[in-house]
A and B are shown apart, each in its own frame.
Chain A
Amino acid sequence: MPLTSAFIIPCSLFDILKMWSLNNITGIIHDWLYQTFSPTWALTFEMVIAGVAVIGLFAVLGLILVIMERKVSAWIQIRLGPNRVGPKGMLQSLADTLKLLVKEGLTPGGADKFLFNLAPIIAMIVAMLLMAPIAFAKDFQLWDLNIGVLYVSAVSSIMVISILMAGWASNNKYSLMGAMRSGAQIVSYELSAGLSILSIVVLTGSLNISDIIYSQADGWWIFKGHIPVIISFVIFIIAVTAETNRAPFDLAEAESELTAGFHTEYSGMKFALFFLAEYVNVFIVCAIGATLFLGGWMPFHIGNWEGFNHVMDYIPSSIWFFGKTFFLIFVIMWFRWTFPRLRIDQLLNLEWKYLLPISMFNLLLVTVIAILGWHF
């Protein structure tokens, strides 16, 4: 039949793609290690590989997101962006990182040296720890712990400590003001971010990230959960934009008011760590958003349309995950290059007078939906 033959060629292409998807690669490595070494050594090697992979991913993600941000902003601002180093300027952020690496790391005279040097390291550690429960592809997850969602919201709130530390230890008025602003901001917005995450937890009945993803096998929560889930998705995006200190909520580093906010006094690699941590944090919150609301690595499935779902499965799960995550990152970058900055009192008003009551009421609605089973 002509129809079937038309399908055969793309399907074999998908098979090749699938073979190279991330879960297959990990499976191959895992099998090979256990066949070659004793289980103890194999486990040790796996842990080392995972550690190196996280550090590598941390650096690579930082570089990719920096160049992406610069290209996106250039596109929005009708200019070219970096276009000298490497093809289309793609190596620009690598060159910048090299420059930052060889720069002198200054510590200001009046600074608290221990805290000043500790702060960027904490920022980096937090960002790395958050990588652990994220499912990058099907069965490709460092640590599928049973309280994944709780872990993410607990660890991400350590970030504020590093910012407060940096602001306080710098002994600089701009840094201190920036740190105080971001302290108030992160603590406030954590609430509505947590509440909107909770609405998915209520629907799924699990804190485990892979459980949440598998619960979306018949459709993503944003489509299944009616309007309340869409509302909590919007609140989630607003709250995480604020939590990662990005415009329009970048009061902590408002350059026209506070020079550079909490990292005014940082230079060289210590500054680069803050910079990378910020971008990795953006990646992580977008990954969490994609996991909870858009199904993580789960392909686009519609209820019981078996044929359609089957075709969708041919696209590797890692592509689904990164596609969704980078879409959300793009949205957050879009915010940054479009909106003006809020004022501190407006920022707190928005959270405490609007977002928090709305997300509380919304959580109640979601709970009713979950109990009565009104979702698809």
Chain B
Amino acid sequence: MHLVITLNGETIKKVEPHLGFIHRSIEKMCESLTYRQFIYVTSRMDYLSAHINNQACALCVEKGMQIEVPERAQVIRTIMAELTRIASHELWWGAMAMDIGAFTPFFHAFREREKINDIMEETCGARLTMNYMVPGGVMIDLHPDFQRKVKEFITLFKLKIHEYDELVTGNIIFRNRMKDVGFLSKEDAISYGCSGPAARGSGVSCDIRKLYPYDAYNKVQFEEVIETAGDSLARYMIRIKEMNQSVHIIEQLIDNIPEGDFQAKTKAVLKLPKGEFYTRVETARGELGVYIVSEGATTPYRIKFRSPGFSNLSALDHMARGSKLGDLVAMMGTLDLVIPDIDR
């Protein structure tokens, strides 16, 4: 991504995003891939929540095929999605602190993120682009060590999350850099189509996990974190609190993984009936929509991915006007822009 900024001294007058530098036209590629294949391409969209992208696609195919997903698979998916969310927020936390000028948090964040990556690697063999989802469940069963490792991680993470607050959240320089920077009102957040923490920071209730529960989210208790300040600090606090909520969700599920199949029995070749299917899931960045238009063939006729970053980015110009150049990196940091997600 390339931002063309018009400046008056240090003050921003206009921000124009130029996109497409890593556009791979995943939507077009998917038109020639079968319903089993196209899921794996979507890992490359928002690579930080690759797992949740796959989940959205699998859910959409399941909706079209009317596949009943076994409970065990649902719970596994939810746990993995929440682990991905924590990993994504960890990376965001480090990278955002780096944008603000603090280097150290990046390494501290990666220390814990590494543990999640190890769990992922042990479970499905991959660390970043997981490809663990298949229509009807998950690809392979959990590793016997999975529950122990996740519990270990949760214990460690609860100790370390205080370190994050001490190192960054409570820092006066950091708070001054974040407070009243990049204000986005509730009306604007809705109008710009913002979702995820970017919109919840402005007081919009938009957590898809709460509003339209999928997989095992209707079986767990968690809070939708909402702040009303609308500035960068609010968006920051939401992500920090969301990590705690994700840990809370995992804690409820990790001891209650039901026995049974990890995958529903499905046909080898999937053919979605003629029609249109839309699923919405909550990725770490916001609402991901998968829109499949089927003509009854083995490949989708048209796929549209409604990526959260694309809409969130469109609010950047509005937020940035009139603030200082240094604020722009803070805003981009708290919007949590992942460029492949915007470019697709």
Complex contact flag A–B (Cβ < 8 Å): yes
Interface of A toward B, CB cutoff 8 Å: 73, 76-79, 177, 181, 247-248, 250-251, 254, 256-257, 337-346
Are the C-beta atoms of B10 and A344 separated by less than 8 Å?
Answer: yes
Which of B50-58, B100-108, B186-194, B294-302 lies at the binding interface? Answer: B100-108
**CA A343 to CA B178, docked complex, whole Å:** 10
Partner of B100, one of A76, A181, A341, A346: A341
A-B contact count (CB 8 A): 72
Is the Cβ of A340 less than 8 Å from the Cβ of B102?
yes
Assembly CA distance A181 to B326 (angstroms): 12
Query: Does A247 contact B101, Cβ atoms closer than 8 Å?
Result: yes
> Do B108 and A341 touch (CB < 8 A)?
no
From residue 100 to 143 of chain B, which have CB atoms closer than 8 A to chain A? 100-104, 106-108, 111
Is there contact, CB below 8 Å, between A340 and B97? yes
Q: Is the CB of A257 within 8 A of B328?
A: yes
Residues of A within 8 A of B10 (CB): 177, 181, 344-345
Q: Is the CB of A340 within 8 A of B327?
A: no
Give every chain A residue within 8 A of B171 (Cβ-Cβ). 339-340
B325 at interface, CB cutoff 8 A: yes
- The B289-328 residues at the A interface (CB cut-off 8 A) are 324-328
Q: Give chain B residues whose Cβ lies under 8 Å from the Cβ of A181.
A: 10
A254 touches B104 (CB 8 A): no
Q: Are A344 and B102 in contact (CB under 8 A)?
A: no
Interface residues of B (CB under 8 A from A): 10, 97-104, 106-108, 111, 167-168, 171, 173-174, 176-177, 324-329
Q: Is the CB of A344 within 8 A of B104?
A: no
**What are the residues of chain B within 8 A of A341 when measuring CB–CB?**
100-102, 173, 177, 326
Are A256 and B98 within 8 A (Cβ)?
Answer: yes
B9 to A, closest residue via Cβ: A180
Question: What residues on B are CB-neighbors of A77 within 8 Å?
Answer: 103-104, 106-108
Min CB gap B261→A, angstroms: 42
Q: Are A343 and B327 in contact (CB under 8 A)?
A: yes
Minimum CB–CB distance from B7 to chain A (whole Å) comes to 8
Residues of A within 8 A of B101 (CB): 247-248, 250, 254, 256, 339-341
List of A residues within 8 angstroms of B102 by Cβ: 338-341
Bound-complex Cα distance A79 to B329 (A): 26
Chain B residues with CB under 8 Å of A343's CB are 176-177, 324, 326-327
Please judge, given known A-B contacts A77-B103, A254-B101, A256-B98, whether A342 and B328 are in contact too, CB under 8 Å.
no
CA distance A181 to B324 in the complex (A): 13
Tell me which of A338, A339, A340, A344 contacts B324 (CB under 8 A): A344
Q: Measured between alpha carbons, how far is A250 from B101 in the docked complex, in Å?
A: 9
User: 26 A-B Cβ contacts within 8 A?
Assistant: A73-B104, A77-B104, A77-B106, A77-B107, A77-B108, A78-B111, A177-B10, A248-B173, A251-B326, A254-B326, A256-B98, A256-B100, A256-B329, A337-B103, A339-B102, A339-B171, A339-B173, A340-B97, A340-B171, A341-B100, A341-B102, A342-B173, A342-B176, A343-B327, A344-B324, A346-B176
A188 to chain B, nearest CB (A): 15
Closest to B99 in A: A256
Nearest chain B residue, comparing its CB with the CB of A337:
B104
A257 touches B107 (CB 8 A): no
Nearest A residue to B323 by beta-carbon distance? A343
Residues from chain B with a CB closer than 8 A to the CB of A338 are: 102, 104, 167
Cα of A146 to Cα of B293 in the assembled complex, Å: 85
Q: Please indicate the chain B residues that have their CB under 8 angstroms from the CB of A340 in the complex.
A: 97, 100-102, 168, 171, 173-174, 177
Collect the chain A residues with CB atoms within 8 Å of residue B111's CB.
78
Assuming the contacts A250-B101, A343-B326, A344-B324, asked whether A78 and B173 have C-beta atoms less than 8 A apart, the reply is no
User: How far is B327's CA from A61's CA once the two chains are assembled, in angstroms?
Assistant: 36
B12 to chain A, nearest CB (A): 11
Instruction: Tell me the smallest distance from the CB of B110 to a CB of chain A, in Å.
Output: 9
CA distance A341 to B177 in the complex (A): 8
What residues of B have a CB within 8 angstroms of the CB of A73 in the complex? 103-104
Known: A344-B325, A345-B10; 14 extra A-B contacts, CB below 8 A, are A77-B103, A77-B104, A77-B107, A78-B107, A177-B10, A247-B101, A254-B326, A338-B102, A338-B104, A340-B97, A341-B173, A343-B176, A344-B10, A345-B324
A342 to B173, CA, bound (A): 6
Tell me the complex Cα distance, A306–B111, Å.
52
Could you tell me the distance between the alpha carbons of A342 and B102 in the complex, rounded to whole angstroms? Answer: 10
Q: Which of A78, A257, A337, A339 contacts B326 (CB 8 A)?
A: A257
Residue of B103, B174, B326 near A344 (CB, 8 A) is B326
- Shortest Cβ gap from A70 to chain B (Å): 12
Whole-angstrom CA separation of A137 from B54 in the bound complex: 67
| Residue numbers in A under 8 Å from B107 (CB-CB) | 77-79
Name the residue on A nearest B103 (C-beta). A337
- State how many angstroms separate the Cβ of B109 from the closest Cβ of chain A: 11
Q: How far, in Å, is A302 (CB) from chain B's closest CB?
A: 36
Chain A residue, CB-CB nearest to B327: A343
Q: How far is the CA of A157 from the CA of B226 in the complex (A)?
A: 49
Residues of A within 8 A of B98 (CB): 256
Residues of B within 8 A of A79 (CB): 107
Q: Is the CB of A76 within 8 A of B326?
A: no
> Nearest chain B CB to A337's CB is how many angstroms away?
5
Q: Are A257 and B104 in contact (CB under 8 A)?
A: no
Query: Distance (Å) between the CB of B138 and the closest chain A CB?
Result: 34
**CB proximity of A141 to chain B, nearest CB, Å:** 37
Q: Give complex CA distance A203, B61 in Å.
A: 80
